[in-house]
Amino acid sequence: MSYKCISLDEAQSLLDNPDTVIVDIRDKGSYEDGNIPRSINISQDNIDNFLEKTERDKNILVYCYVGNSSKGASDYFVQKGFKTVFSLDGGYEEFVRKQ
């Protein structure tokens, strides 16, 4: 099983679904400056808690700055047993550009 890279347009239904877990892997300062609504900022400090508390069958949408780091993070979540993981192509920059 693997993650899937999707465009912002493809991700819209996930963003609109309140059950989707939206994961921001950027640094805390960048997250605080602006983020996708309902996203959770994940770092080394809270990853264990996230893995412990999050249901493996939830849709996970991972984003970073421009869509590169999110691929590695998405692969990591798949390895940790999450069934449906998406990496947002273009990352937060694309999200801001389309708003």
List the catalytic residues.
Answer: 64
Residue 58, exposed/middle/buried by CB under 10 A (0-12, 13-18, 19+)? Answer: middle
Where are the extended beta strands (E) located within the chain?
Answer: 4-6, 21-24, 40-41, 59-63, 84-88
Q: Tell me the angle at which helices 91-98 and 8-16 cross, rounded to the nearest 10 degrees.
A: 80
